[in-house]
Amino acid sequence: MFKDCFKYYKSKNPPPDLEKVRRINLEKTGNSASNFGLNPVKTWEVYELVDHPGLIFIKNPFTSIGQRYWVVRCLQDYSKRPNKTNLDALNLVPEGKEWWEVCQNNNNKILMNKLRWVTLGYHHDWESKVYAEENKGEFPKDLAELSRFIAESLNFLHFNAEAAIVNYYHMDSTLSGHTDHSEHNLKAPLISLSFGQTAIFLLGGKTKDDEPSAMFLRSGDIVVMSEESRLCYHGVPKILQMDSRFWNCFEENDFTNDCKNVVNICKEETLWKPFGDYLNNSRININVRQVLQRGQKRLCSESDEKT
């Protein structure tokens, strides 16, 4: 095996496909881990589940301030219109106002607990489970870059974040077993980021008859579903309250980012407090997918199909 591989890369004619070479020195090219609130890639603890090939688990590679950054983005920013949320159908947020702002102004805990999901980029259609070109918003640049950085660090090259579901869980929330199969590109991995309270995550097989494995997803943990596990059943039967507050274990770091106001909130305890209070009883999961095939520019719209 080793010999064959050695020969492959040594060959002059034909030359090897250099895309296959794992880029370990990502810090030296463009974005560095610290731009995303991540610790250096070489310090990451990366595991692949023996019973579930393709299921990659990265044990919290985020710094505390990095965790805070993504939590603030999910609560304060990604929840804003025109992104879609489960609240749209309920008419609870007055026109021209935003959910987080309304909750903070009235200390409205009931409204705060009502946000269950936000969709970004190609919006997930909960009924048809079909993405459409006409049902698409802008995908946040910072989240797209973070996702690409994680994917490339694991040697999944050319990952484009085109759709995401942000799930907001409270202590009694669950997510039933399902597969994520709406994406045209099922070869690209699905990247899942967890913040806040701990989830029990179940990962099964291709059918509901296969017995699932249970694992904890704690704040900062990353799960990548690729290859064989990409189309496996998974769900969240329980959220557990944990004493540890991973987002408060401050270390010295030089976190900077284009979203200066968000970084400022993360560094200033009084500004961070409402976000920390939310997280004490909640979990946030960001689930990022690539929808299109490599080189594909758009989805066929219904009208294209009729012509």
What is the rounded CA–CA span in Å between residue 86 and residue 33? 32
Which of 85, 119, 160, 285 contacts ligand AKG by CB under 6 A? 285
For residue 194, the cross-strand partners are 285
Contact (CB, 8 A) for 87 and 119? no
Whether the CB-CB separation of 196 and 224 falls below 8 Å is answered with no
The reply on whether position 236 binds ligand AKG by CB under 6 A is yes
The residue from 99, 222, 234, 263 that contacts ligand AKG (CB under 6 A) is: 234
| Shortest distance in whole angstroms from residue 278 CB to ligand AKG | 16
Q: Is 4 annotated as a binding residue?
A: no
Is residue 192 within the footprint of ligand AKG (CB under 6 A)? Answer: yes
Q: Among 55, 199, 215, 266, which residue interacts with ligand AKG (rule: CB under 6 A)? A: 199
Closest CA to 162 of 290, 20, 297, 299: 290
Q: Are 272 and 263 in contact (CB under 8 A)?
A: no
Q: Is 180 in the site for ligand AKG (CB under 6 A)?
A: yes
| Residue 178 annotated as part of some ligand binding site | yes
Residues 126-165 that bind ligand AKG (CB under 6 A): 165
How many other CB atoms sit within 10 Å of the CB of residue 233?
Answer: 19
- Under DSSP, the state recorded for 299 is P
**Maximum CA extent, the chain:** 69
Query: Is residue 225 close enough to count as binding ligand AKG by CB under 6 A?
Result: no
Stretch of 90-98, 146-154, 194-202, 293-301 contacting ligand AKG, by CB under 6 A: 194-202
- Binding residues for ligand AKG, rule: CB under 6 A, are 165, 167, 175, 180, 192, 194, 199, 201, 217, 234, 236, 285, 287
